[in-house]
Amino acid sequence: KPMVKQGGEWKEVDWSVALDYVAHGLKDVVREHGADALAALAAPSSTVEEFSLLRKVVNGLGSGNIDFRTRQRTFAADLASVNIPWLGLRLNEIKDLDSALVVGSFLRKDHPLIAQRLRQAAKKYTQVNLLSVVADDQLIKTHAQVAVAPSQLVFSVAALVKAAFEQKGLQVPSALEGVSVCDESRKIAQSLLEGEKKAIFLGNLVKQLADAEQLQLLAIELGKLTGASVGFLGEGANSVGAYAAKFLPSNANARQMFESPRKAYVLMGIEPEFDLGNPQLALSALKQAAMVVYMSPFKHMAALEYADVMLPIAPYTETSGTFINIEGRVQSFNGVVKPRGDARPAWKLLRVLGNVLNLDGFDYESSEQVRDEVLGKGVEFIAGLGNDISGEISMPAARTSSLERIADVPIHFADAMARRAPSLQQTSDARLPTARINPQTAQALLIEDGLAVKISQGDAGVVLIAKFDENVPLNCVRVSAAHTSTAALGEMFGEITVERA
- How far is it, in rounded angstroms, from Cα 249 to Cα 163? 38
**In 272-420, where do the E strands start and end?**
291-296, 309-312, 321-324, 330-333, 404-406
pTM over 0.95: yes
Residues 122/221, Cβ–Cβ less than 8 Å: no
According to DSSP, the residues that pair with 466 across neighbouring strands are 435
From the first residue on, what is the mean pLDDT of each consecutive set of 10 residues in the chain (501 residues)? 96 98 98 98 98 98 98 93 96 98 98 98 98 98 98 98 98 96 97 96 97 97 98 96 97 98 98 96 97 97 97 95 98 94 98 98 97 97 96 89 94 95 97 98 97 95 98 98 96 96 93
- The angle, 0 to 180 degrees and rounded to 10, between the axes of the packed helices 48-60 and 346-356 is 20
- Select from 21, 17, 23, 55 the least CA-distant residue to 39: 55
The pLDDT of residue 372 is 98
According to DSSP, the residues that pair with 39 across neighbouring strands are 265
According to DSSP, the residues that pair with 462 across neighbouring strands are 455
The pLDDT of residue 278 is 96
Angle, vertex CA 117, rays to CA 209 and CA 187, nearest 5: 60
Kind plus residue range of the DSSP H or E element containing 392: none
The pLDDT of residue 398 is 83
- 3-state secondary structure (DSSP) of residue 411: helix
- How far is it, in rounded angstroms, from Cα 136 to Cα 159? 21
Using the 8-state DSSP alphabet, how is residue 378 labeled? T
- How far is it, in rounded angstroms, from Cα 290 to Cα 306? 10
Residues 45/237, Cβ–Cβ less than 8 Å: yes
The pLDDT of residue 353 is 98
**In 239-328, where do the E strands start and end?**
264-268, 291-296, 309-312, 321-324
The pLDDT of residue 306 is 97
Angle, vertex CA 52, rays to CA 298 and CA 212, nearest 5: 85
Residues 257/465, Cβ–Cβ less than 8 Å: no
The pLDDT of residue 400 is 72
Residues 429/412, Cβ–Cβ less than 8 Å: yes
Residues 255/72, Cβ–Cβ less than 8 Å: yes
